[in-house]
Amino acid sequence: MITTPRASASDLLDWYDRHARDLPWRVAPADRARGVVTDPYRVWLSEIMLQQTTVATVKAYFAKFTRLWPTVGALAAAPREDVLAEWAGLGYYARARNLHACAEAVVRDHDGIFPNDEKALRELPGVGPYTAAAIAAIAFDRPAAVMDGNVERVMARIFAVETELPDAKPELRELTAQMTPETRPGDYAQAVMDLGATICTPTSPACGICPWREPCAARAKGIADQLPRKKPKKTKPVRMGHAWVAMDGEGHVLTTTRPDKGLLGGMLAVPTSEWSDDPDPVPPFPADWREVGEVRHTFTHFHLRLVVHLATLDRLPGPSRALPQAAAAMPTVFAKVLKLVTPAP
C-alpha cells in the first residue's frame, strides 16, 4: 500500500514562488497570480521541443520558431519543409513532422484553439500522455499528473522507490497523481520539474537546501543519490552505411528528401545507402566517386558509421542547395557529412 509522505505541495509551491526558473515559454508564478494568461501554443511548442532535449538547447529553437510562427495558425500555414528545415539539428525528427500535423489539426478541428482536457489533447498528433498532462496542467491549470524524468526522480527519492526503471513507472505515476494538488496544479507541475532540474539532480543532489528534505525517505535512508535505480543499458549495435555527396564547381550539393516513414523521415539529406550490418555500396548514379572519409553518429538505438564518397560534376542531376545552406537545413548526421567534404578555410 502506498503511503503519502509528509511532503506537501504547499511547501514546494512556497519554494517555487521564490526560486522558479526564468524560461521563455513560462509565465512566472507572480504573473500567474496576477491573472496573466498562459499561452497554450507556447506551452505545447516548448513541451514538444523539450522531449529528449535539454532546456539550454531548446531556448534558441523556441525563440526562432515563435519569431517565425508566433501562433498555432501561423505554424499550420507554413510549408512543412520549412518547419523541418528550421528543426534541423534539434533531433528526434518525428517530433517536427508531428508538430506541423498537430498545428494543422488544432486549426482544422478546433478552430485554432487548443483543447483544455487531457483526453482531447491526446487525440492530437504527437501528443502523448506526458505532453497532454503538461499542457492541461500548465496552460489550463487542470490537476493533471505530469511526470517527466525530473518528476520520476523526485518521486522515487521522496518515497524511496527502489524498483528499477522502467518497471517502477506505474508506481511513480500513481505517486505523482497522489501528490498533485487541486490548487495551482500548473505551478506545482513546474515546481517539481524545477526541483529535479536544479536541486534533486541525477548526481550529487543538494539535499541540504531542498524544500522536501525532511520528508524525503531516500535521504533518510542515505540512498538519495542511488535512486531511481535503472536496469543496465543494452549495448547499442553498430550499423554501416554509405553517403554520396555530389557537388558542382560553384559549391552546390545534390540534395534529396528522405521518405516520410522511418528515421529522419521527411528531412533534407544527401543520398545514402541503407543502414545495416552489410550495406550495398552502390552509388545513386554513375560518376567518378572517391572515398573521402568516415562519419560517426549515434542515434537512440544504434551507432552509425557512414563511409563518405564525393564526386564533382559540371551539372548536378537533381535538386541542389549551396553547401552552407544545405548543411544548416539537414539533420546533424548529414551536416557532419558535408563538413567532411568542405575545404578548410
Whether the CB-CB separation of 262 and 202 falls below 8 Å is answered with no
Distance CA 190, CA 4 (A): 20
Instruction: State the DSSP code for 51.
Output: T
**Partners of 268 in the beta sheet?**
257
Give the count of alpha carbons within 13 A of 332, CB side only: 10
Distance CA 227, CA 152 (A): 10
- Nearest CA to 97 out of 112, 117, 82, 118 is that of 82
What one-character-per-residue DSSP string does 267-310 give? Answer: -EE--B---BSS-----SS-S--EEEEEEEEE-SS-EEEEEEEE
Task: Write out the three cell numbers for 305.
Answer: 558509421
Q: Pick the catalytic residue from 47, 86, 118, 152.
A: 47
Distance CA 331, CA 297 (A): 11
- Nearest CA to 5 out of 197, 256, 175 is that of 175
Per the annotation, the verdict on 47 as an active-site residue is yes
**Residues annotated as part of the active site:** 47
